[in-house]
Amino acid sequence: MSDTTTATNDSGARPRGRVALFVTCLVDLYRPEIGFAAVQLLERAGFVVEVPRQGCCGQPNFNSGDRAGAGKIASRVIDRFAPFDYVVAPSGSCAAMLRVHYPGLFSAGSEARRAAARLAEKTFELTSFLYDIAGLREVAAELDGVVTYHDGCSGLRELGVARQPRELLKSISGIELREMNQPDACCGFGGLFCMKYPEISERITGSKVRDILATDADYLVAGDLGCLLQMAGTLERNGHAVKAVHVAEVLAGMIGPDRSADH
Partner 1 sequence: METTSRQFRQLSRHALEQATLQHSLDGVREIMPRIRAAALAERGDFDALCDRARDIRERTLRQLDSYLEAFERRVQAAGGTVHWAATGEEACRIVAQICRDAGAERLIKSKSMVTEEIELNAALERDGFTVTETDLGEYIIQLRGEKPSHILAPSLHVTLDEVAETFHQHHDIERSGPLTNATEMLAEARSIMRDKFLQADVGITGANFLVAETGAAVIVTNEGNADLTASLPDTHIVVTGIEKAVPTLDDVGVLLRVLARSAIGERLSNYTTFVHGPRRDGEASGPANYHVVLVDNGRSEMLGTEFQDMLRCIRCSACLNHCPVYTAIGGHAYGSVYSGPMGAVLTPAFAGLPAAAHLPNASTFCGRCEAVCPVRIPLPSLLRRWRQRELNARPVMDGQRFGLGLWRWLNHWPPAYSLAIRCAARVLRRLSVPGRGGQRWIRRLPLLGAAWTDCRDLPAPPGRTFQDEWRRRRS
Binding to partner 1 in span 42-81, by CB under 8 A: 51, 53-56, 58, 60-67, 69, 72-73, 76
The nearer residue to partner 1, 118 or 259, going by C-beta atoms, is 259
In the complex, least distance from residue 152 CB atom to partner 1, rounded to whole angstroms? 9
In the complex, least distance from residue 121 CB atom to partner 1, rounded to whole angstroms? 21
Residue 23 within binding range of partner 1, rule CB under 8 A: yes
Sign of CA dihedral 132, 96, 42, 250: negative
In the complex, least distance from residue 127 CB atom to partner 1, rounded to whole angstroms? 19
179, 200, 214, 216: which one contacts partner 1 (CB under 8 A)?
A: 200
Residues of this chain, 146-185, that bind partner 1 according to CB under 8 A: 153-154, 157-158, 181-182, 184-185
In the complex, least distance from residue 12 CB atom to partner 1, rounded to whole angstroms? 18
In the complex, least distance from residue 6 CB atom to partner 1, rounded to whole angstroms? 8
The nearer residue to partner 1, 18 or 197, going by C-beta atoms, is 197
Pick from 34, 35, 41, 38: nearest CA to 11: 41
In the complex, least distance from residue 253 CB atom to partner 1, rounded to whole angstroms? 18
Give yes or no for a contact between 183 and 207, defined as CB atoms under 8 angstroms apart.
Answer: no
Pick from 216, 227, 261: nearest CA to 37: 261
* CB-count exposure of residue 7 (10 Å: 0-12, 13-18, 19+): middle
CB neighbours of 10 closer than 8 A, spacing ≥ 6? 43, 44
β-bridge partners, 124: 88
Residue 18 within binding range of partner 1, rule CB under 8 A: no
13, 111, 241, 258: which one contacts partner 1 (CB under 8 A)?
A: 241
**Chain centre distance of CA 214:** 25
Collapsed DSSP state (helix, strand, coil) of residue 139: coil
β-bridge partners, 89: 125
Number of residues located near partner 1, criterion CB under 8 A: 74
Residues of this chain, 91-110, that bind partner 1 according to CB under 8 A: none
The nearer residue to partner 1, 46 or 226, going by C-beta atoms, is 226
In the complex, least distance from residue 135 CB atom to partner 1, rounded to whole angstroms? 26
- Strand extents, DSSP E, the chain: 5-6, 18-21, 48-51, 86-89, 123-125, 142-150, 173-177, 219-222, 243-246
At residue 92's C-alpha, the angle toward residues 38 and 108, to 5°, is 120
84, 189, 215, 250: which one contacts partner 1 (CB under 8 A)?
A: 189
The nearer residue to partner 1, 61 or 123, going by C-beta atoms, is 61
The nearer residue to partner 1, 100 or 171, going by C-beta atoms, is 100
Alpha-carbon span 73 to 53, nearest angstrom: 13
Pick from 162, 168, 176: nearest CA to 217: 176
The nearer residue to partner 1, 158 or 165, going by C-beta atoms, is 158
Residue-level length of the chain:
263
In the complex, least distance from residue 48 CB atom to partner 1, rounded to whole angstroms? 12
